[in-house]
Amino acid sequence: MFQFESYLAIALTITGGALTLLGSVGIFVSLIVQRRVERLQDILEEFMDLSYHQSINLTGQMYKLLQKYQMQYMLPDKPSQMILYYIDLTTLFVIASWLVLILMTFSPPWGVNSLLYILPLIWGLILLTLFRQLLKYAINPVKNQLLQTIIPPPTKLRSISFISSYINVSILSILYQARLALVIRLNVNAYYQGKSIPGEVVLKQELSFDDFFYYLQITHDKTPVLLGYGELEICFPDDPLTGKPVPIQRNVNIPLGKVTLDPAIDTLDAEMLIFARGEKHPLKCLFQLHKEGKVFCPDDEPVIRLYSGVTYKISQDRLELLENQYQSAWLEQLSPKFLLNNQRFYLTGKTLTDPINPDCCSCCDDKVYIK
């Protein structure tokens, strides 16, 4: 059995140590979070101000702001490791001290009453472990849901749905700064059945904003050439040198599907509807594509505006059209397949039947690339 007086002294030591650690860690965490939130809030406000200048190309400044945001969001590795080593050594010292005191004051035999005395010690060890995790998350809040609700991670700032809901920035303003461009790259050296030229439909972005569902139709004289839909959610690999996540990239190319075109076609019309989470009306992007050598590309920037003719909601990763006044019936015919599963689908060539058969869609497995 334990000596009662000695156990009281140990219990008081454990309580005092736990309270001291709790107060120290609490103050340290609150200071880190407070200073970090202040700095990141200033960067977010500057980011918001830039996004409203639609007529000026500010992609370079926005890119630098997001890089600066990540630098403030995450502390350097070496100081972070030193802080963690310090807290680990302190924790081990406290635990070792407790164990030595317990062994010195313990008197056999071991019984049920001894377990009751041990319970406060076990809770003390659990609290120390939780304190260590809390400090670790304060230093590096990546993949920590607790602090991400206060401090959004840098990778979230490329999500137009998150930006719209969290910092109340217009999606229209963000997409103007993304500088969307739809191009079709032709492979003139390969002819399909001797009469058609195969090509790749690519959505280009100067800044890689994602996290939205899209519907795309490319037509020639109101005849469909390609219909596509899917969710864009880009995942960049971590930086190979630092191991840190990449918040955003420039000059991103997103393949949306394959197409075969008649060599006599020189102009194409394209429309894209962009559906973001938390909104009720999509954005409509209009592209005028002209053939220039081996590429169909737009002459001017796309016309982007809010399209109130379609009302939708996204529930359980499914997009449902509540009201549809879109001028073509293809949107309605494909809508049963509108799932947010980070996949891109398209129909072209012989699969463009009347009416459209959604089950004939092909999946675009080509990866996003930088060019």
Tens-digit pLDDT profile for residues 51-92: 666 666 677 788 888 888 887 777 666 767 777 777 777 777
More confident residue, 147 or 247: 247
Number of domains comprising the chain: 2
Domain boundary among 126, 151, 176: 151
Residues 330 and 188 in one domain: yes
Residues 283 and 181 in one domain: yes
More confident residue, 126 or 141: 126
Query: Domain containing 34: what range?
Result: 4-151
Residues 191 and 296 in one domain: yes
Q: 126 pLDDT band (50/70/90 cuts)?
A: confident
pLDDT attached to residue 116 = 74
Residues 118 and 177 in one domain: no
Tens-digit pLDDT profile for residues 152-182: 788 888 888 887 776 666 788 788 888 899 9
Domain boundary among 151, 184, 207: 151
Domain boundary among 123, 151, 179: 151
Residues in CB range of 183: below 8 A, 6 or more apart: 201, 202, 204, 289, 295, 296, 297, 298
Q: 237 pLDDT band (50/70/90 cuts)?
A: confident
Residues 89 and 21 in one domain: yes
**Interatomic CA distance for residues 61 and 43, integer angstroms:** 12
Residues 53 and 76 in one domain: yes
Residues 230 and 314 in one domain: yes
Residues 344 and 212 in one domain: yes
Residues 202 and 145 in one domain: no
Q: 137 pLDDT band (50/70/90 cuts)?
A: confident
Residues 232 and 184 in one domain: yes
Query: Which residue type sits at 7?
Result: Y
For residues 344 and 230, is the Cβ–Cβ distance under 8 A? yes
